[in-house]
Structure 1
Amino acid sequence: MNILFMAYGTPYQRHEIEPYYTDIRRGRAPTKELLQELEERYHLIGRSPLNEITFAQAVRLEAALNATLPLYPQLLQASPGARVRGPARVYHGTKHWHPLIREAVEAMAEDGVRQAVGIIAAPHYSARSTAEYQQKVQEALAELGNPFEIRYVEEYFDHPGYIQAVSTRVGEQRWRLVEPSKALFLFTAHSIPERAAQDGRYPGQIRSTAELVAQRLGLEHWDTAWQSAGRTPEPWIGPDINQKLEEVAAQGYKEVVVTAVGFPSDHLEVYFDLDYEAQNTAQKLGLRLLRTRSLNADPDYIEVLREVVARKWAEFC
């Protein structure tokens, strides 16, 4: 079993921010103002742990797969030695920084991979995001002469294990509320351009995830909001989390629990958008804002990943 596990990627050091941002902008260097803004965001949060978290996810996913797959599909003809690698191999590649998706695909080809499952560290399908990851894979494969076939896990927004994992973390914050029945529970995800959301698939999946969690926990007041909209002239879907906080404060809410369902891992857009910017907005409005912890590389989330990639791999059989 061969898995290509893909994530967004983040720079490690300050001097890497500009080439990283240039890659995000499809080769167009950012203006001095945009670069300074992104550098300031990294400065404010300290450092993004995204690379370490997604690498841990890949390592733990491989371990989980090898713990459940038969170790020796064929009888051994000789001693395997002191260390035996299991039948599942997980390759890690990122969209905008090293190791790049292209580099991971090259490593898979060098290892003689003939079939693989691709999965992105995000539960919801977006033409702006998911399709772009897949395009990078297909471009890398084409350059190498298409050495292997790959099938994708495109979404798992309603997977029972995923819903349970999110619900567990929302439930932890509910215990901290003064009046849980009067609090608002907000579920956020990365905004995308309106033109990329016209089919309704992405916002519909975010809404479905939120509704399933709300039903499981019996939440009385809940809604969705968006964050991390790009700095482009075109309109992006909303409302933005800060705008939404202004609206709910005007409606009389005093406590809000925010859950970044679109972001399984802690990183810049969780720390800055929610822990810094939204928290400052909430304080100005007199709101108490709590954020649920992320899934990161926790065992319950790894089990979800294991199940969905194993199911997709079975399609090759």
Structure 2
Amino acid sequence: MSDTPIGVVVMAYGTPASPEDVEPYYTHIRRGRPPTPEQLANLQMRYDALGGTSTLAARTRDQIQRLTDALEAKAPGRFVVTIGQKHAAPFIEDGVATLADAGASHVVGLVLAPHYSGFSVGQYHERAAEAATERGIGFTGIERWHDEPAYRAFLGTAVRDALGTLPEKTKVVFTAHSLPERVLAGDPYPDELWASAEAVAIAGGLNRWAGWSMAWQSAGATPEPWRGPDILEVIRDLAATGRADGILVCPQGFVADHLEVAYDLDIEAQKVADEAGIAFARTRVLNDDATVLAALADKVVATAAAATGS
């Protein structure tokens, strides 16, 4: 085995580090176009409801530390791990540069999103691969891990645990971040989400239609159509038709407690459910679960071995 380390860039969406960073962060998301005062106020209001900023930065650090510890236990001294973010420093390119400066001969990319979409995960890998090429080192991306047995087992346990707190006639709705319809033509994202939801539902003995379904959430505020139905519409519909006394949301597409979970579900969706008169809960999300992060470490080790032959 070579003494040259293998680099691992763990890629995340990014989040503002402080309230002062919200506007430049939002501007970066909008590709350099500053948000309107109304858009900025709306986003800041959501962060204020969570204490000023998202918990994503801390959750991501915890996940990376857990992955680093697992890799060190499996292959001492073999891997050097760092973060690269899409919309906040350190950016993806910064992460790859850090690994190159550390002497990495090859970089494995892991995105903290289980399901592949060219619009999201694909763009992360493209940026990392380009940065690695510029530094003269190889890059291999892990495109998906929604089918990792440990992750599906985690989701299944989370669903069972949460159902115990809700009425017997409760429907489980699996959600993920909506994307614009224009980018989903031919994209595997919807099919992968369906496959993982179905696997968890079947393993948990949930009945199709009456027992579970899929929905979308956190669509962007743009004029173009985004994939639906939106979870807020589903909550209102279930309550209005009386087909369920409770709704359990399993945000399978999210792996940390952050804005889309802690605000869009815990605050906004909960409020809609309260107003509609239907019981509501959501399952816990991955965060730094040791079992799943150890399984992802195994995936990194196997990917590195296939790419480098060592």
* TM-score bin, normalised by smaller chain: over 0.9
Q: Does 1:290 align with 2:296?
A: no
Q: In 1, are the aligned partners of 2:8 and 2:107 still within 8 Å (CA)?
A: yes
Specify the alignment match of 2:3 in structure 1. Answer: none
**Which AA in structure 2 matches 1:65?**
L
**C-alpha distance in structure 2 between counterparts of 1:59 and 1:112, whole Å:** 20
**C-alpha distance in structure 2 between counterparts of 1:187 and 1:11, whole Å:** 27
**C-alpha distance in structure 1 between counterparts of 2:246 and 2:297, whole Å:** 36
Specify the alignment match of 1:5 in structure 2. Answer: 10
Specify the SS of the correspondent of 1:230. coil
- 1:153-207 CA distances to partner (integer Å, 9 max, x unpaired)? 010111111100111111111211231xx21001110000001111151011111
**C-alpha distance in structure 2 between counterparts of 1:92 and 1:64, whole Å:** 16
Specify the alignment match of 2:176 in structure 1. Answer: 189
Tell me how far 1:126 sits from its aligned partner: 1.0
Specify the SS of the correspondent of 2:158. helix
**C-alpha distance in structure 2 between counterparts of 1:313 and 1:251, whole Å:** 51
Question: What aligned pairs does 1:68-79 form with structure 2 within 5 A after superposition?
Answer: 68-69=74-75, 71=76
**C-alpha distance in structure 1 between counterparts of 2:240 and 2:56, whole Å:** 35
Q: In 2, are the aligned partners of 1:48 and 1:268 still within 8 Å (CA)?
A: yes
Give percent identity, aligned residues only.
Answer: 41
**Which AA in structure 2 matches 1:10?**
T
**Which AA in structure 2 matches 1:91?**
T
Specify the SS of the correspondent of 2:154. helix
Q: In 2, are the aligned partners of 1:113 and 1:147 still within 8 Å (CA)?
A: no
Unmatched segments (≥5 aa) in structure 2: 1-5
- CA 233–262 in structure 1, closer or farther in 2 if over 3 Å, else same: same
Specify the SS of the correspondent of 1:276. helix
**C-alpha distance in structure 2 between counterparts of 1:304 and 1:187, whole Å:** 22
**C-alpha distance in structure 2 between counterparts of 1:55 and 1:45, whole Å:** 18
Specify the alignment match of 1:121 in structure 2. Answer: 112
**C-alpha distance in structure 2 between counterparts of 1:38 and 1:244, whole Å:** 24
Q: In 1, are the aligned partners of 2:60 and 2:256 still within 8 Å (CA)?
A: yes
Specify the SS of the correspondent of 1:102. helix
Specify the alignment match of 1:54 in structure 2. Answer: 60
Unmatched segments (≥5 aa) in structure 1: 72-85
Tell me how far 1:265 sits from its aligned partner: 0.6
Question: What aligned pairs does 1:115-264 form with structure 2 within 5 A after superposition?
Answer: 115-142=106-133, 145-179=134-168, 182-220=169-207, 221-252=211-242, 253-264=244-255
- How much is the aligned-residue C-alpha RMSD, in angstroms? 1.3
**C-alpha distance in structure 2 between counterparts of 1:147 and 1:34, whole Å:** 41
Q: In 1, are the aligned partners of 2:142 and 2:303 still within 8 Å (CA)?
A: yes
Question: TM-score with structure 2 length normalisation?
Answer: 0.93
Q: In the comparison of the two structures, how many residue pairs are matched? A: 298
**C-alpha distance in structure 2 between counterparts of 1:87 and 1:158, whole Å:** 26
Tell me how far 1:308 sits from its aligned partner: 1.8
**C-alpha distance in structure 2 between counterparts of 1:194 and 1:15, whole Å:** 33
Tell me how far 1:227 sits from its aligned partner: 0.7
Tell me how far 1:141 sits from its aligned partner: 3.4
Specify the SS of the correspondent of 2:248. strand
